[in-house]
Amino acid sequence: MSARATIDVSELPAHAFGNRSIMWWATVGVIAIEAAVFAATIATYFYLQGNEKSWPPADTPLPDLLWPSINVLILLVSLVPNQIVKSAAEHHNLRTIRIGMIVADLFAVAFVVVRALEFRHLNVSWDSNAYGSITWTLLGFHTFHLVTDLADSIVLTVLMFSRHAHEGKRFVDVAENSFYWYFVVISWIPIYGVLYWAPRLL
């Protein structure tokens, strides 16, 4: 046995960021699944639109633009603390991580609060017609995806204030959580376009 050539890996690091990390790849997998869910739902939206002479159907008012547009702004601005957290995690800067994650979580909370107002200003119920159904369902799927990520981020924030915060792999978790937030933001833009602009422009 001793005669065999060996590769000694004991000096290798115990964690790594980005596409070197298994957490990054798992996150990409989750993103692929959710993107497929949104794609199928958006395809359904336009499929149903094809069945109607006008969209929204006659006697159904358009959804209000104000709250969702505010939410677009909130998400775009949230990219700043998010990026700060991500780069702080990659540099193991715990102080910045802690402050940045609280700020980023507050943005997400604000988004969810405004989301509640958004639902109230869709101006249609899910059971009035197929347009209402798909509008509520698409916004509902996005809300589900948002709330689960918020809950996850809050747990991770608390974790970063605990004695476990100093382990290397926690920094990877924080960085990949921020990476996922990019998907949250990027997926909201087309869904916002579909729900609020497609009925106006198409």
Partner 1 sequence: MNELEERALLEKTWANESGPFAWFRQVDHRSIGRRFLFTAFVWFACGGVLAALMRIQLARPNNAFLSADRYDQIFTLHGITMMFLFGVPVMEALAVYVLPLMLGTRALAFPRANAYAYYLFLFAGIMVYTALLLGMAPDTGWFSYVPLASPMFGPGKRVDIWAELVNFTEISALVVAIEVVVTILKQRAPGMSIHRMPLYVWSMLVTAMMILFAMPSVMVASNFIGLDRLVGTHLFNPAEGGDVLLWQHLFWFFGHPEVYIIFIPGLGIVSSITAVFCRRPVFGYTAMVLSLVATAFMGFGLWVHHMFATGLPQSGESFFTAASMMIAIPSGVQIFCWIATIWLGRPSYRPPFLFVLGFLAIFVIGGLTGVMVASVPLDLQLHDTFFVVAHFHYVLIGGAVFPLLGGIFYWFPKMTGRLMNERLGHLSFWLTFVGFNLTFFPMHKLGLAGMPRRVYTYLPETGWTTLNVLSTIGAGILSLGMLVYFGNALWSMRRGRAAGSNPWDADTLEWSTSSPPPVYNFQHLPVVTSREPLWHEPDQAPIVTGLAPDKREVLITRVLDAAPDHRYTYPHPTVWPFASAVITGMMLVAGLFTPWAFAIGMALLAIFLTGWFWPSNPKKEGDA
Q: Which positions touch partner 1 (CB under 8 A)?
A: 1, 4-16, 19-23, 25-26, 29-30, 32-34, 36-37, 40-41, 43-44, 47-48, 51-52, 57, 126-134, 136-137, 148, 151, 155, 159, 163-164, 167, 169
SS3 161: coil
- Please, what is the minimum distance in Å from the beta carbon of residue 9 to partner 1? 4
CA–CA distance, 202 with 103 (Å, rounded to integer): 38
Phi/psi class of residue 197: alpha, beta or left (left: φ > 0; alpha: ψ in -120 to 50)? alpha
Token couple for 145: 């995806």
Looking at beta carbons only, is 96 or 137 nearer to partner 1?
137
Around Cβ 124, how many Cβ atoms within 10 Å? 18
CA–CA distance, 145 with 148 (Å, rounded to integer): 5
Looking at beta carbons only, is 13 or 120 nearer to partner 1?
13
Looking at beta carbons only, is 75 or 172 nearer to partner 1?
172
Q: Which residues contact 106 (CB under 8 A, 6 or more apart)?
A: none
| Unique residue bearing structure tokens 């890996």 | 9
- Please, what is the minimum distance in Å from the beta carbon of residue 177 to partner 1? 11
- Please, what is the minimum distance in Å from the beta carbon of residue 162 to partner 1? 8
Looking at beta carbons only, is 20 or 91 nearer to partner 1?
20
Looking at beta carbons only, is 26 or 65 nearer to partner 1?
26
CA–CA distance, 132 with 128 (Å, rounded to integer): 6
- Please, what is the minimum distance in Å from the beta carbon of residue 79 to partner 1? 25
